[in-house]
Structure 1
């Protein structure tokens, strides 16, 4: 094969696709989710030599969900689909990642640049010669676009896209035409690591904001800390932890912020979600004269139907790109540097005591003779069973709201999709999360998913088996879409599902006796015994538990939020 003049001038020639993969490896990606298609097949050949493992999912939507779960545990992920038919199938998952600030590098294999220039009537197109239409669809749910049509520009575009994905914690979209994938670029650039540091705040502005915050903090009589999802997404958990410890202030989390703080710490006071808050939390937070709100996302499900009663006059908001002190906003000020300086300059505080939060059963359940498993009994019991460093995934629905009633051990990672709320998300996410957890040390991965939700994305159990992952999956069997029933259609047939034999599904997907164990649990006694089983709890293999619960039962917070949603839908 002849070498062109431009290639001969390169010190260390490397294929565009290999350059891309080595940058992904550099930022921590070890496994790549997606599906093969004829426009990405050549690109997939280069994965092994770059140290990357191909996952190979059952469909692109599931692959997107899995990439989302992988990123929430690993810090960033990659997804490869093919042009048109593949990428469009993944859009729902990518939109969810954009909504919830999850960094996914979405790589789309495209037809060659010549085919695109000539407007050829190719398969997977709309037949109108427009090869930009699908990229345009992704533009609104990507924080950066990198169209690799010119190999000379490719390294710069790749570096910028991955950096934006990391810094802004949102998906980016990279096109990879079949001919460009194997064009040569300068590999010597890889010797210079990507700069993934947050842009520093202007020092004078930062010092001023810190002084303003400290003025109100030191004047407050009963301040509290409230931590939400963007503290996780924008990588300020070290600062949050140090602030909580140094200040001694009562610390609460919003539902999307579960797992953002060490819930075993004495400062931890529980979940604040307006009327859906843990016992005693709403009263303390709403009576506080200063709320230090870190990374808030004040969506309907995250606030139990907008039942927050927090006035802006008593709030300081910390975000990735601004700080708001009462009604004064300071743009272009990242919370990371501000929080670190507050910790350094803060005087000793005299905090109020935090509410007592435990995994004890509520009084109504302690002496109950009820044999059925109810939500008010289940979630404190789950809290007693969880271990430090578990990864806990909860599906939109009863599980998502029920997990508010647990106090996590130290180091638990909580994954849920409270804002986007795409039904079935959690099964794909569990596959990605379990794979990332395995790569990082095999932390125990646990999924709680409803029977209706499980039916949407059950195929990813097959992917779990293929990669010898060992999550514990609890399928809550309550005969349909319980959250929808509480919003509308209590007895409507559209909220019904066809009953499955859930515990037999992994066997259908080819799991052997060594790879899988299935259980069916219908009473409290049976579940208590299962939790006490050391072999089960050690997660030696993939395990699926049919967890039968009464139809119509739901966590109180879900009932309240559903009522609020139903009212808004009528407005």
Structure 2
């Protein structure tokens, strides 16, 4: 890896990625990246996890980057960044990188630090405009990089530094720092002939500078005075926590503000899990007009909204239906603070929130004693038969959306990691009150909303959870979404991972049916036998007369990781699900388990019905 005072460029890059928390690197081999893959497999700090395809690899890197953990999540002061891992995906030029772009775009939209490394043809082949495979046949070698520029915060073309080792390492360090600080993807192209280019080994002596940059002093002072003045004048201020509080490593600062101010706190769908939902000051999830009436009243009657890390997308706000005037809102963002209609540029929430907390600490809690009595009624209460309506079936034993989600909430433990697929699961799981946890434990792709995302993300979150000794991993996905990315279950098996996969079977895309075309055939999917599907993934080491030397495969397989055992369950009634959730062996989650929950077509969570109604009006078909 290192030759005295020099090391290979590929190994330098890998060491930097390890410095950013990457212990597993994912992707798909191709002839333009395999020299780099050799270095990954030989590197002492990282390991390789091959995926079924590049799209799934990008989804998995997304999930990996979402996973905050003790020591990196801002609640443990062993680091200063307050952020989790960087995700890494490696693809080959052209065909491979384009397959990954949908997943990378999701990382850009949802503010996730993912590094996309593309193995490209040699610098000489590019200079000659050679008519190579995986090209467009017109001599252009920058076309795909230009596509990626639109969804990357920084791009590095290492071929530009073939005679400049210092320039290459500087460009890598600059891009990694920008991507990590701004929580966005970066793109690095690595030509085949530069993988083993030598660079100074001393380049690693200085660690990456990841701490928050200092605020503009004058803007920070003026902003602090105005913010504190507004908060102290307010009669009923509240805190509203959103996704960028997590993405930009401000969880510690947010919790300190909540604890020391005594203010009521709410979260958005994308901010779910940022605040301990068992906290006595937690009031619930605010989604504009799609909010439970009692929670909606508490938020919208406030005379000051202290908004942390807002991402005001349509699904995060019920089609922009907030009833909170800008004049009564203070928005804290990663690089600016907005107070009413004024904006203070160059002031970050990570830097200024501790100063705000210190200035207001103890001044507000006595005034809020009565308000607190209204809080934390957000609970996992099972509905009555009347509340379930016809979805409970004639004998009341059908598993309805209204009943499922609070029951799952009762099943969860503080250390669990929950992944909810775009659509029914993402909206249904908003009704869950998460158990108390020191780290974000809920993951959904609400802004980008790519169906099938959750299966790949489950792999990445499972890998990160194993590395950091977190709890059980649970995926909630519909039978339609599962079909897009189901191959990655085989990777979970091969990797010895043991998530619980809850598959909601209702014959298709229920979210799309609610938005448009409930009886249209395009919202239906083929019916799969999930038990046999799982069996086809479940025994990669079985004896076979085909496929080469199986014994040799067993001996060299994935650095002695033992493939996971699997178990399938079909659940059609409340009693069957109750028995399963109470089963001690099932709760151990020591094997990969797929639970197929049969649900009535047409049944949907209340939050989904509300969002579908506003989306229908917006689409105007």
Aligned to 1:390: 416
- Mind listing any 5+ residue stretches in structure 1 that lack a counterpart? 1-6
The answer (yes or no) to whether the contact 1:503–1:545 under 8 Å persists in 2 is: no
Q: How far did residue 316 of structure 1 move?
A: 0.4
Aligned to 1:358: 379
Distance across 2 between alignment mates of 1:544 and 1:478: 16
Distance across 1 between alignment mates of 2:435 and 2:261: 21
User: Of 425, 431, 437, which residue of structure 2 is paired with 1:399?
Assistant: 425
Aligned to 2:597: 547
Query: Alignment partner of 2:137: what SS?
Result: coil
Q: How far did residue 366 of structure 1 move?
A: 8.9
Matches within 5 A, 1:362-381: 362-363=383-384, 364-365=386-387, 370-381=396-407
User: Of 331, 335, 338, which residue of structure 2 is paired with 1:317?
Assistant: 331
Aligned to 2:500: 472
Distance across 2 between alignment mates of 1:202 and 1:495: 52
Describe the superposition over 1:126-148 as per-residue Cα deviations: whole angstroms up to 9, x where unpaired.
01010000000000100001111
Matches within 5 A, 1:209-248: 209-248=223-262
Question: Greater CA deviation, 406-415 or 348-357?
Answer: 348-357
Answer yes or no: is 1:501 the counterpart of 2:529. Answer: yes
Query: Alignment partner of 1:288: what SS?
Result: coil
Query: Alignment partner of 1:125: what SS?
Result: coil
Aligned to 2:70: none
Answer yes or no: is 1:64 the counterpart of 2:58. Answer: yes
Aligned to 2:48: 54
Answer yes or no: is 1:167 the counterpart of 2:177. Answer: no
Distance across 2 between alignment mates of 1:514 and 1:113: 42
User: Of 480, 490, 497, which residue of structure 2 is paired with 1:452?
Assistant: 480
- Mind listing any 5+ residue stretches in structure 2 that lack a counterpart? 68-83, 541-562
Over 3 Å counting, the alpha-carbon distance change for 1:503 and 1:276 in structure 2 is: farther
Matches within 5 A, 1:73-112: 73=67, 74-112=84-122
Q: How far did residue 442 of structure 1 move?
A: 4.0
Q: How far did residue 315 of structure 1 move?
A: 0.5
Query: Alignment partner of 1:474: what SS?
Result: strand
User: Of 353, 357, 360, which residue of structure 2 is paired with 1:346?
Assistant: 360
Distance across 1 between alignment mates of 2:315 and 2:125: 46
Question: Greater CA deviation, 490-499 or 351-360?
Answer: 351-360
Q: How far did residue 328 of structure 1 move?
A: 0.6
The answer (yes or no) to whether the contact 2:452–2:483 under 8 Å persists in 1 is: yes
Question: Greater CA deviation, 200-209 or 232-241?
Answer: 200-209
Distance across 2 between alignment mates of 1:502 and 1:154: 48
Query: Alignment partner of 1:54: what SS?
Result: strand
Answer yes or no: is 1:435 the counterpart of 2:463. Answer: yes
Query: Alignment partner of 1:446: what SS?
Result: strand
Describe the superposition over 1:432-462 as per-residue Cα deviations: whole angstroms up to 9, x where unpaired.
1001000000421100000000000000000
Aligned to 1:4: none
Distance across 2 between alignment mates of 1:248 and 1:504: 53
Aligned to 1:22: 15
Q: How far did residue 544 of structure 1 move?
A: 0.4
TM-score (norm 2): 0.89
The answer (yes or no) to whether the contact 1:295–1:318 under 8 Å persists in 2 is: yes
Distance across 1 between alignment mates of 2:505 and 2:323: 35
Answer yes or no: is 1:531 the counterpart of 2:581. Answer: yes
Over 3 Å counting, the alpha-carbon distance change for 1:366 and 1:117 in structure 2 is: closer
Aligned to 1:567: 617
The answer (yes or no) to whether the contact 2:335–2:348 under 8 Å persists in 1 is: yes
Please provide the CA RMSD for this pair.
Answer: 1.6
Describe the superposition over 1:89-137 as per-residue Cα deviations: whole angstroms up to 9, x where unpaired.
0000000100000110100000001110110000000010100000000
Q: How far did residue 360 of structure 1 move?
A: 1.2
Q: How far did residue 206 of structure 1 move?
A: 1.5
Q: Give the number of aligned pairs.
A: 563
TM-score (norm 1): 0.96
